[in-house]
């Protein structure tokens, strides 16, 4: 008779101490988890990961050769949906918290408490189960056509990621609950909010306000309005945006910059549907649907005490994450063509064709300003157009300036590089880097040079030197 394994996918325990592995294995077996795989050599972990497809991982941080902090990003890069619980000594709790911010689900402190261990495993397996259910639901949604594609007419895209986002928007649009739209500057958060409003069927208007930089009094007056005599200069009553958005949608842009006092007032509006104009003692009720957006990491702000936990959870009843342009490069062609047509129409010019060389060039740029940056680049190029062709030099100059701004500004986050053993020489590294840039640029030297931050002449000289070696 074959023994039933629980869980179906193994629990992988990675720790170099045999006593710890034995203690954890025994505890899990007594708790009914009879499908446990242990690994003492961290350098073998990735092979086990690919061979057995675990349901969750227990990862010790302090190990020789390849420690847990270095192994964690490798695991998550290979299987981003895999729940990882880090195990740490008491002196390494701060490091464990950093690991959680990097994607770990939880951490345990040695000596590991048995009840805490079992609870963490149950949580990890439930997390895995929910992820699999969500993945199955997404696959099902991906097979269904959009019910109302006209609602997204303002958003030009050919990206499967954006189409999947549209399907989710169609499913949540009728809900009266708040929506939080996350995304970098320039990805089109307000366009998405307007699409939600159109699909909601609400008869009231779409009312938008950028709350960044508003102090508490201005925020209250802007949103809730005031009665006559509420303050000096209030000679007549004024309706706030909440009242103007009755039966419609109130869009609060850059919610991450809201002051603590204003956060309390917004929380009451969301929880109780109540607000109070300045200078008035009686409450009013609102039926406006609230959509908020931010480019900030609200989780990080919450940990810093700058954003209320209860407001964060209330806002993200429905959560949308708009991918940056660098993660949906299939949109470059359709957006470049669309913006070229817009620019030509506004400038009274003939629309220039979008050459294949332009698309190769654009594909090398990280677009920190996203769609808005691409729009500005194309508009500037069309404005300087002297012939029927789009001047690529204008775009190269823009990209070079952007690279210069990035090099002189704060250092961006760069994922850790993983080098082979033994280390390559500087000459070998340069050769590999140039080859990779040429591959990504489709062997376009101008595009590859822009990616490497050097001139096209310098790259050509280096390529000639390599071919002559």
SS3 state at 180: strand
Mean pLDDT value of segment 445-469: 75
SS3 state at 412: coil
Residue 414 has pLDDT above 70, yes or no: no
Cα–Cα distance, 337 to 201 (Å, whole number): 32
pLDDT band at 405 (very low <50, low <70, confident <90, very high): low
Write the CB contacts of 112 (distance below 8 Å, at least 6 apart in sequence): 20, 23, 24, 27, 87
pLDDT band at 235 (very low <50, low <70, confident <90, very high): confident
pTM to 2 decimal places? 0.60
Mean pLDDT value of segment 209-231: 87
pLDDT band at 281 (very low <50, low <70, confident <90, very high): confident
Say which range, 33-47, 79-93, 311-325, 439-453, has the weakest mean pLDDT: 439-453
Q: What is the pLDDT of residue 13?
A: 95
Question: pLDDT tens-digit profile of 130-174?
Answer: 777 766 666 655 566 888 999 999 999 999 999 999 999 999 999
Tokens 């080098």 belong to residue: 419
pLDDT band at 227 (very low <50, low <70, confident <90, very high): confident
Q: What is the pLDDT of residue 162?
A: 93
Respond yes or no on whether the N-terminal peptide bond of residue 7 is cis (omega within 30° of 0). yes
Question: pLDDT tens-digit profile of 369-400?
Answer: 999 999 999 999 999 988 888 888 888 888 88
Write the CB contacts of 364 (distance below 8 Å, at least 6 apart in sequence): 399, 437, 440, 441, 447, 448, 450, 451
Mean pLDDT value of segment 234-257: 91
Mean pLDDT value of segment 79-108: 82
CB 37 within 8 A of CB 62: no
Q: What is the pLDDT of residue 412?
A: 44
Residue 413 has pLDDT above 60, yes or no: no
CB 302 within 8 A of CB 312: yes
Mean pLDDT value of segment 409-431: 62
Cα–Cα distance, 181 to 295 (Å, whole number): 9
Which residue did the predictor score with more confidence, 6 or 52?
6
Q: What is the mean pLDDT of the chain?
A: 85
CA-closest candidate to residue 240, choices 259, 262, 272: 262
Q: What is the pLDDT of residue 416?
A: 45
Residue 415 has pLDDT above 70, yes or no: no
State how beta strands 274-275 and 238-239 pair.
unpaired
Q: What is the pLDDT of residue 465?
A: 73
């Amino acid at each position: 008779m074959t023994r039933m394994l629980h869980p179906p996918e193994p629990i992988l325990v990675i720790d170099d101490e045999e006593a710890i592995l034995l203690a954890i294995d025994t505890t899990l077996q007594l708790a009914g988890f009879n499908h446990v795989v242990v690994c003492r050599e961290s350098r073998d972990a990735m092979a086990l990961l690919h061979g057995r497809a675990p349901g969750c991982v227990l990862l010790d941080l302090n190990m020789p050769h390849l420690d847990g902090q270095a192994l964690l990003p490798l695991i998550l890069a290979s299987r981003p949906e895999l729940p990882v619980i880090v195990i740490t000594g008491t002196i390494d709790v701060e490091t464990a918290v950093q690991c959680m911010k990097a994607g770990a689900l939880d951490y345990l402190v040695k000596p590991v408490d048995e009840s805490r261990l079992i609870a963490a495993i149950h949580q990890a397996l439930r997390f895995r189960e929910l992820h699999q259910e969500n993945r199955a639901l997404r696959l099902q949604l991906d097979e269904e056509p959009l019910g109302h594609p006209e609602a997204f007419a303002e958003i030009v895209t050919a990206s499967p990621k954006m189409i999947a986002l549209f399907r989710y928007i169609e499913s949540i649009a009728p809900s009266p609950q708040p929506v939080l739209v996350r995304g970098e500057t320039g990805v089109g958060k307000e366009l998405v909010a307007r699409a939600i409003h159109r699909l909601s069927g609400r008869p009231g208007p779409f009312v938008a306000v950028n709350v960044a930089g508003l102090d508490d009094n201005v925020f209250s007056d802007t949103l809730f309005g005031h009665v006559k005599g509420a303050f000096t200069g209030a000679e007549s009553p004024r309706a706030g945006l909440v009242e103007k958005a009755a039966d419609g949608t109130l869009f609060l842009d850059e919610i991450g910059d809201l002051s603590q006092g204003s956060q309390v007032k917004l929380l009451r509006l969301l929880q109780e549907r109540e607000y109070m104009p300045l200078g008035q003692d009686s409450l009013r009720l609102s039926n406006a649907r609230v959509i908020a957006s931010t480019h900030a990491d609200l989780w990080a702000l919450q940990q810093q005490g700058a954003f209320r936990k209860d407001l964060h959870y209330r806002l993200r009843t429905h959560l949308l994450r708009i991918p940056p342009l660098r993660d949906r490069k299939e949109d470059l062609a359709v957006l470049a063509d669309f913006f070229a047509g817009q620019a030509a129409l506004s400038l009274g010019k003939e629309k220039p064709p979008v050459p294949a060389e332009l698309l190769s060039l654009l594909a090398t740029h990280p677009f920190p300003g996203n769609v808005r940056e691409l729009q500005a680049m194309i508009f500037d190029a069309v404005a300087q157009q002297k012939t029927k062709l789009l001047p690529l030099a204008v775009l190269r100059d823009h990209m070079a300036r952007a690279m210069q701004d990035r090099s002189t500004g704060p250092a961006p986050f760069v994922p850790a590089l993983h080098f082979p053993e033994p280390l390559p020489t500087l000459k070998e590294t340069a050769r590999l880097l140039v080859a990779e840039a040429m591959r990504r640029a489709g062997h376009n030297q101008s595009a590859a040079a822009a990616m490497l931050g050097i001139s096209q002449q310098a790259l050509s000289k280096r390529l000639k030197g390599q071919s002559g070696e």
